[in-house]
Structure 1
Amino acid sequence: MRVLLLAQFYPPNIGGEERHVRDLAASLAKRGHYVAVATLWQDGLAEHEADQGVQIFRIRGLLQRWSGLFLDPARTHAPPFPDPGLTASLRRIVVSERIEVVHAHNWLLHSFLPLKRAGGPRLVVTLHDLSLVCATKQAICRGELCSGPSFAKCGGCVAHHYGAAKGSVTLATNWTSSWFERRLVDRFLAVSTAIAVGNGLPGGPTPYEVVPNFIRDDVASPDGGQDERLEGLPKQPFILFVGDLRRFKGIDVLMAAYAQLDNVPPLVLIGRKCHDSPTHWPKNVHVFHDWPHAAVMQAWRRSMAGVLPSVGPEACATVLMEAMASGRPMITSNIGGNPDIVDDNISGLIVQPGDQAGLARAIQAMATDEGLRQRLSDGALQKVKTFMASNVVPQIESVYRGVLARERPVIAAANQLQRGSP
């Protein structure tokens, strides 16, 4: 098959979604498919290159010319509506590379929708977030879990998140684009049950499947020598948190829970500093920023257990899989896709989101009960096989074959999209 993956960011930009798309592209290429990736051009990167048998096309849109529109001018993203420049570039790639299946992963999808034709490439979309129903993608409204969309509430939320002008445009265009997505996409892939339900896929007009993120089969065996950053880790066994140091990940809850405990191992945090990151840390907490992935995997091997106490609905946290592949049991919260990955008291411990006392008890148990850790470690190594590339990538291939064999009436919706009205 000839497959085009759409991802607004791609390595060397780091992040779980970027690694997922890169690993999917490389896995498909190794399995004999022609694979191309269309991603947004970033300063200093080649417009076209080959990597691991994958053709990478970095394209530019009209909106990228105005860097002031973006919070981070070095990380311009795709808009929630078709960008004419991106659409034109995607048309050229689809034609020149004779693409059969387009597999989109985020808002770059919107610039492909005007090209969707009944006789053209099939369109598969992986939902890594709640973007079909939420313009901020996470269903968090002013720091709290959102109870559901409504025009007035969403208007205030996006204005707070993006600013009044950008927020109103983002909300209107995302809702409009979502209407077209549900009618033009051939198959949705939700990375967890929570993402499928949260996006309203059950009972909707588009077929869908739950296909999780995956990790490479050899992810727990990082290449290269020991990273010098590891010298800063505690010499004794420690508990490890990996991820953005923000409230969504439960970092405030974790700090409050850890501060209650005495005589427990050090707590190591490796992640990106965010606008809502704490400015002070409890005693025996070690904080490191922006480590490369290989160094993070080496840190997992030195740890005794991990913790991810999210208070927001994680879609499908790859960090849980990477810890489990390293034989490390996880403490995580019962929210989003986390329970799809960790089985309570079998491959890890699950606590309620925001429960400081429950999290403190789980950390205490994990730190002091060696028998518990070993039993959960064995369960983690068994469960994580479900999320290996050798198991998940064939499921994605099966989806491609299914959509190629199935016709879907898209002409009316495509014509409406060209006219600009639902």
Structure 2
Amino acid sequence: MRILLLSQFYPPVIGGEERHVRNLGAALARRGHRVSVGTLWHPGSPETDLDGAVRVHRLRGTLQRLSGLHADPERRHAPPFPDPELVLALKRLVAREQPDIVHAHNWIYASFLPLKDLSGARLVVTLHDYGLVCAKKNFMHLGTQLCSGPAAAKCLPCATRHYGPVKAAVTTLGNWASSFAARRVVDRFIAVSHAVARHNGLTQGHAPYDVIPNFVPDDVGVLGPEDACLRELPPDGFILFVGDLMRLKGIDVLLRAYARLERAPPLVLVGRRAADTPTEFPPNVRVFSMWPHSAVMHAWRRSLFGVLPSVGPEACATVIM
């Protein structure tokens, strides 16, 4: 089959979802399918290149040009509604690749919805988070407690606290509209966990879905060459955290708990900084960012143990897998 994978980010952009899409594309190609990827253009990346047997097309969208809309200029997300320029780019890509199946991951699916009928392709959408119902994608009301479900009286104030009033209104209303349409035209949803299916409302609705957890390659434990950044690790055993250095991932809880330990081994944090990343850390904590995946795998091997202290509902924590 001809399969087109759509993902807002793709390596070298670092993240669990990005690695999953890459692994999925490679696995499908090994099975004899013709696989291509459509992803958002990232500064410094070619518009088209080959990643093994998978052809990668990097597309530009209108909102990606508006840097002020994005908290992290290195991660300019696809909107939860059709982006005019991205829709046109996807239309050209579909005409070129002629896919039998379009497999979209998260919000980039919204820019394919207007093309679905014309393309003739079946549409599969994998949900890696709670973005089908939550404008913040994390299903945490006001960032402090598990949400009981979407409602205008809750969602708009919650999103406003996160995005600001204008961006919150556009994101929330656009997400509701796209979600309403998607539940009627998507041929199959894939939820990466039962929690994702339940909180996104798939278990109570009529949209067809399956629960298929993310996977890791069989050779994930095979370590590659050592990167120079590994020299910065403590020489002896250490506790390891890998992930976004943000409150939702439990970084505050972890640091408070670590500060209370006596004679504790070093704590190593590897991940992206966020707006709420702490500015001060207890003694014996080392913080690193933007490490390549191979270096992270070496760090796991050298660590005493890893920690995943998330205070929100993890969708499918491939970082631990």
Question: TM exceeds 0.5?
Answer: yes
Counterpart AA for 2:105: H
The whole-number CA distance in structure 1 between the counterparts of 2:92 and 2:65 is 20
Report the counterpart of residue 164 of structure 1 in structure 2: 165
Report the counterpart of residue 197 of structure 1 in structure 2: 198
Instruction: Using the TM superposition, name which of 116-125 and 309-318 deviates more.
Output: 116-125
Q: Is the alpha carbon distance of 1:201 and 1:244 closer, same or farther for their aligned partners in structure 2, counting shifts above 3 Å?
A: same
The whole-number CA distance in structure 2 between the counterparts of 1:241 and 1:73 is 24
Matching of residues 367-386 of structure 1 within 5 Å: none
Matching of residues 265-276 of structure 1 within 5 Å: 265-276=265-276
Aligned to 1:308, the other structure's residue is in SS state: coil
The whole-number CA distance in structure 2 between the counterparts of 1:64 and 1:292 is 24
Q: CA deviation at 1:29?
A: 1.0
Report the counterpart of residue 229 of structure 1 in structure 2: 229
Report the counterpart of residue 150 of structure 1 in structure 2: 151
Q: CA deviation at 1:300?
A: 0.7
Report the counterpart of residue 207 of structure 1 in structure 2: 208
The whole-number CA distance in structure 1 between the counterparts of 2:236 and 2:64 is 48
The whole-number CA distance in structure 1 between the counterparts of 2:283 and 2:64 is 44
TM-score between the two structures when normalised by the length of structure 2: 0.95
The whole-number CA distance in structure 2 between the counterparts of 1:68 and 1:251 is 27
Q: CA deviation at 1:298?
A: 0.3
The whole-number CA distance in structure 1 between the counterparts of 2:4 and 2:65 is 25
Counterpart AA for 1:249: K
* Higher Cα radius of gyration: 1
Report the counterpart of residue 248 of structure 1 in structure 2: 248
The whole-number CA distance in structure 2 between the counterparts of 1:21 and 1:110 is 18
Structure 1, unmatched stretches of 5+, are 322-422
Q: CA deviation at 1:43?
A: 2.4
Counterpart AA for 1:231: R
Count of matched residue pairs: 320
Cα-to-partner distance string for 1:304-335 (whole Å, 9 max, x where unaligned): 211111101111111110xxxxxxxxxxxxxx
Report the counterpart of residue 284 of structure 2 in structure 1: 284
Report the counterpart of residue 184 of structure 2 in structure 1: 183
1:76 matched to 2:76: yes
Matching of residues 81-100 of structure 1 within 5 Å: 81-100=81-100
More helix by share: 1
Instruction: Using the TM superposition, name which of 87-96 and 27-36 deviates more.
Output: 87-96
Q: CA deviation at 1:108?
A: 1.1
Report the counterpart of residue 108 of structure 2 in structure 1: 108
The whole-number CA distance in structure 2 between the counterparts of 1:71 and 1:246 is 13
Cα-to-partner distance string for 1:148-190 (whole Å, 9 max, x where unaligned): 2221221111112122111111111100110111111111111
Q: CA deviation at 1:119?
A: 8.0
Structure 2, unmatched stretches of 5+, are none
Cα-to-partner distance string for 1:394-415 (whole Å, 9 max, x where unaligned): xxxxxxxxxxxxxxxxxxxxxx
Matching of residues 339-350 of structure 1 within 5 Å: none
| % identity of equivalent residues | 60
Report the counterpart of residue 306 of structure 1 in structure 2: 306
Q: CA deviation at 1:66?
A: 3.0
Aligned to 1:36, the other structure's residue is in SS state: strand
The whole-number CA distance in structure 1 between the counterparts of 2:205 and 2:277 is 38
Cα-to-partner distance string for 1:367-396 (whole Å, 9 max, x where unaligned): xxxxxxxxxxxxxxxxxxxxxxxxxxxxxx
The whole-number CA distance in structure 1 between the counterparts of 2:211 and 2:169 is 31
1:39 matched to 2:34: no
CA contact (8 A) 2:14 2:290 kept: no
Q: Is the alpha carbon distance of 1:23 and 1:155 closer, same or farther for their aligned partners in structure 2, counting shifts above 3 Å?
A: same
The whole-number CA distance in structure 2 between the counterparts of 1:119 and 1:290 is 38
TM-score between the two structures when normalised by the length of structure 1: 0.73
Q: Is the alpha carbon distance of 1:66 and 1:303 closer, same or farther for their aligned partners in structure 2, counting shifts above 3 Å?
A: closer
